[in-house]
Amino acid sequence: MAKITINDTTVEVFKDATILEAAKELDGVYIPTLCHMNLESFNVEHHVGSCRVCMVDVEMGGRSKMMPACCTPVQDGMVVKTNTPEVIQARRIVLELLLSDHPFDCLTCPKNLDCELQALAREFGVDHLSYKGEMSKYPVDTTSMAIKRDLDKCIMCRRCETVCNEIQTVGALSGYGRGFKAVVAPAEMKNLDKTNCVMCGQCVNVCPTGALTGISFNKKVWAALSDPNKKVVVQVAPAVRVAIGEEFGLEPGTDMTGRLVSGLKKIGFDAVFDTNFSADLTIMEEATEMLERFKKNENLPILTSCCPGWVNFLEFQFPDLVNIPSTCKSPQQMFGAIAKTYYADKIGVKPENLVVVSVMPCQAKKYEAGRPEFAHDGVRDVDYVLTTRELARMFNEAGIDISKMQEDNFDNPLGESTGAAVIFGVTGGVCEAALRTAYEWVTNKELKDVNFTAVRGLDGIKEASIDIDGTEVKVAVSSGLGNARKLLEKIQSGECQYHVIEIMACPGGCINGGGQPFIHAETDILEQRMKGIYAIDIGKEIRKSHENPYIQKLYKEFLGKPGSEKAHHLLHTEYYKK
């Protein structure tokens, strides 16, 4: 342990702590940061110290020096001052230098009022630029269909680089160039569509400015809603309903389902459906595929395929394993395929005149919707994808405060769902939902306790053995692509053997997707969102996908049976080595 003095108060901390970590032990001590992120839960150290906004006065051995608090380790006897005029002026100079090479398009920037650089400039009273000179100018990259990259707004905090390389282990971003021309970018300054970026959007979540944002389709959705020749329907993903309330001042985890439906109908969508319906449909197909593989003992373990960020990661990083994921499309794409066939036929609308909009917690869903295999005769299964944040912006544009809306119900036939479907929104949920159905199909017995708690929780990797009528089924659940890499490497080496593996690209699953409301502080927001998901599951009258009456009707009227030729044509896909 080391004893240091911060602003005349002595504190004792571990010797491997930084000054910033020590300061957090004291009430009333605030040190601003830009490049710093708390990554303790990922067992990743992040002491970049690139922005210098956290400068403090450090005295050791009678000598005083300005040091960055986020990456300076404590030493016994150290005396730190965090609020002297000299310290405040040093921070202000750093901010003004950052702003001297930053665009002043705040009014039109997607991060306006949610920009950490903007907030610090206001906090330090920066009302003019003391330093003027050359401004960076780079082309804006929108090639990926999911993530917009505006390097003019990059402040070299390197948060995105840390998330991409250390947590997700994708390796698409790194420091590029030197001096004034230094930015964080792909190798050779390539556009994102020419890299191994998986579009998970975790870089967007941590970017403090507008250098990385999602590509918005809001205007195109408004245009479709105004087109009298189009019928516009919307589907809502499970994780959206426990997070969008945060954009309207409500607690994380608040179930907004009914109010969300009301708001969407108020905006003008012709029908409001639930992605949970197609999550139940996914379980019908995936559980069927799972049992077939068990019987044949081939292509095991079966990997879940609901997450497009994870699918991209597999295609880039583990091409030798492309034969083992489930061939099921994601619930988003299954919904689009059924909407443009079964539903379009029911209402007498041509597929090209039916616009399907998705509300997702994810940036990768935008990329997924644009994949060529998810279009038929030039008609996409899903036309536009909005993130949770973008839908909140649409509500604000329309003057709709959904926190004050009366509750309404999803429309049918694509709006009925079970508790098994809603838990898709959290890590472990897809695996648990599949097990609920697989158990009853294998045993022909009623599963009275549907809660497979062994696969729940926010741990990066979870393992369990499930007893299905005397047969041991080994399962693993992983969230965060760095954890997925560890798991898959163990499978390749033969160190671990499983029957079923669920993987989600984002740590914690879809509740922490790249399009969810930003999490700015070290809080338990993910825990609250997760609890909200399970509370909805518990409150459902039906909690097994195969008992959904509208799913049963869909098979009876249209698909035949799970795994049928028509089901394979509409609901399954294939993967590619990239």
Contact 508, 478 (CB under 8 A): no
How far out from the chain centre does Cα 123 lie?
30
Token pair listed for 406: 């009366």
Query: Does 547 qualify as catalytic in the annotation?
Result: no
Query: C-alpha dihedral over 371, 377, 378, 382, to 10 degrees?
Result: -60
List 116, 368, 416, 440, catalytic entry: 368
Report how far residue 280's alpha carbon sits from residue 170's, in angstroms, rounded to the nearest whole number: 31
Query: Does 440 qualify as catalytic in the annotation?
Result: no
Contact 210, 150 (CB under 8 A): yes
Beta bridge partners of 5: 10, 79
List 365, 366, 462, 544, catalytic entry: 365
Look up residue 301 and give its amino acid.
P
List 305, 326, 417, 545, catalytic entry: 326
Query: Does 54 qualify as catalytic in the annotation?
Result: no
Parallel, antiparallel or unpaired: strands 271-274 and 231-236: parallel
List 21, 116, 286, 315, catalytic entry: 286
DSSP label of 558: I
Element (H, E) at 504: strand 500-504
List 373, 407, 522, 557, catalytic entry: 373
Query: Does 181 qualify as catalytic in the annotation?
Result: no
Query: Does 368 qualify as catalytic in the annotation?
Result: yes
Query: Does 510 qualify as catalytic in the annotation?
Result: yes
H helix intervals, 17-59: 19-23
Closest to 536 in 3D by CA, of 274, 313, 317, 353: 274
Task: Give the burial string for 161-199 (b: 16+ CB within 10 Å, else e).
Answer: bbbbbebbbbbbbeebeeeeeebbbbeeeeebeebbbbb
Contact 169, 482 (CB under 8 A): yes
- Any idea which residue has 């139940």 for tokens? 280
List 307, 510, 544, 545, catalytic entry: 510
Look up residue 233 and give its amino acid.
V
Contact 389, 514 (CB under 8 A): no
DSSP label of 330: P
Token pair listed for 554: 């869909």
Token pair listed for 547: 């008992």
| Helices 331-338 and 275-296, axial angle in degrees (round to 10) | 110
List 289, 315, 390, 432, catalytic entry: 289
Contact 369, 332 (CB under 8 A): yes
Query: Does 373 qualify as catalytic in the annotation?
Result: yes
SS3 percent helix, strand, coil of the chain, rounded to 5, is 40, 15, 40
List 306, 307, 328, 362, catalytic entry: 306
Query: Does 306 qualify as catalytic in the annotation?
Result: yes
How far out from the chain centre does Cα 386 lie?
13
Catalytic sites, residue numbers: 286, 289, 306, 326, 365, 368, 373, 510
